[in-house]
A and B are shown apart, each in its own frame.
Chain A
Amino acid sequence: MDKKLLDRLYRAFGNLVRQNRENRDLTQEKLGQIIGLSRTSVTNIEKGRQHIALHQLFAIADALQVNPAALLPSTTDGSAASWVAGKLPPGTDKHLTEWAEKLVGGYTSETEQS
């Protein structure tokens, strides 16, 4: 996976961790204690700078009392597209937004130009 996509994927994951942690009224410190990581590690995970292992996903989900799937970014996050939606003018048609996301996510075809 391309580095840019990788960064976006982990940032998206980090955002979900942060949202769920805040929903549970847990501090980064507290979450770290439960899963056996330092507060700095939790910060890094939430910022997308630290790439966790699969078993850590389960540990975090367990600590936050959510299904691990709830922490997984949607495919559009993973494929980098979600940021484009925020740049479209307000009220942009849903299909158009989806088209733009798919495009930015890397959809290509070579059928057109001669």
Chain B
Amino acid sequence: MTKRSQQAIRKEALDLLKKYKIKTPPVPVDKIAEALGAQVRYSPFEGELAGMLVRGEGETIIGVNSLHHANRQRFTIAHECGHLLFHKGDVHIDRSFRINRRDASSSLAVDPQEIEANRFAAELLMPFDMVVADIRERGIDAESEQELMELAQKYQVSLQAMTLRVTNLVDFF
């Protein structure tokens, strides 16, 4: 079990978006990270590393594997922002993300902090209100591949992330 409910994580993300007056996608996640006091730095890493959060003396750094796809980098930044907001610790290393729900409950991602950070990333990059409005407007569901692709592009997230998001939110209707 995680410490924070889905609702609490959603609220945190929505509050941030409101605070920084972000009303349309794509969410400028790098700017949000900076507003939260982190410096975002990009560097290539060959291997299983998505990113890292480092809290130093008076500086907080989010490191991103620049070899990853731009959408994945955005997810990484958002994930690290989740750690920054929710979790203590000088260093969080994120080797790879399990962004789908099945994996989140499997042995691959049992760490509650990782689950929370992933949920936060989804809530930040694909804000509830915006995505729900898009789903309603377009009448899409998890099967509409072309629509999902367009939506993923609009929010600058991977198709996989958007598909999962829509699947979760469609349950909501």
**Chain A contact residues, CB within 8 Å of chain B:** 4, 83-84, 87-89, 92-93, 95-96, 99-100, 102-104, 106-114
A88-B93, A103-B41 known; A113-B73 Cβ under 8 A:
yes
A100 and B57 form a contact (CB under 8 A): no
B63 and A99 form a contact (CB under 8 A): yes
**Chain B contact residues, CB within 8 Å of chain A:** 29-30, 40-43, 45-47, 49, 52, 54, 56-59, 61, 63-64, 66, 70, 73-74, 90-91, 93, 156
A4-B57, A4-B58, A113-B73 known; A102-B43 Cβ under 8 A:
yes
Shortest A4–chain B CB gap in Å is: 7
7 more contacts with CB within 8 A, not counting A83-B57, A104-B54, are: A89-B93, A95-B45, A99-B52, A103-B52, A106-B41, A109-B41, A113-B29
Shortest A2–chain B CB gap in Å is: 10
CA distance A31 to B92 in the complex (A): 43
- Chain B: which residue is nearest A84 at the CB level? B54
A100-B54, A113-B30, A114-B70 known; A108-B41 Cβ under 8 A:
yes
A4 and B47 form a contact (CB under 8 A): no
CA distance A108 to B66 in the complex (A): 10
A111 and B91 form a contact (CB under 8 A): no
A96 and B43 form a contact (CB under 8 A): no
Shortest B158–chain A CB gap in Å is: 15
- Chain A: which residue is nearest B30 at the CB level? A113
Q: Which residues in B have their C-beta under 8 angstroms from that of A87?
A: 54, 90-91
Q: Which residues in B have their C-beta under 8 angstroms from that of A88?
A: 91, 93
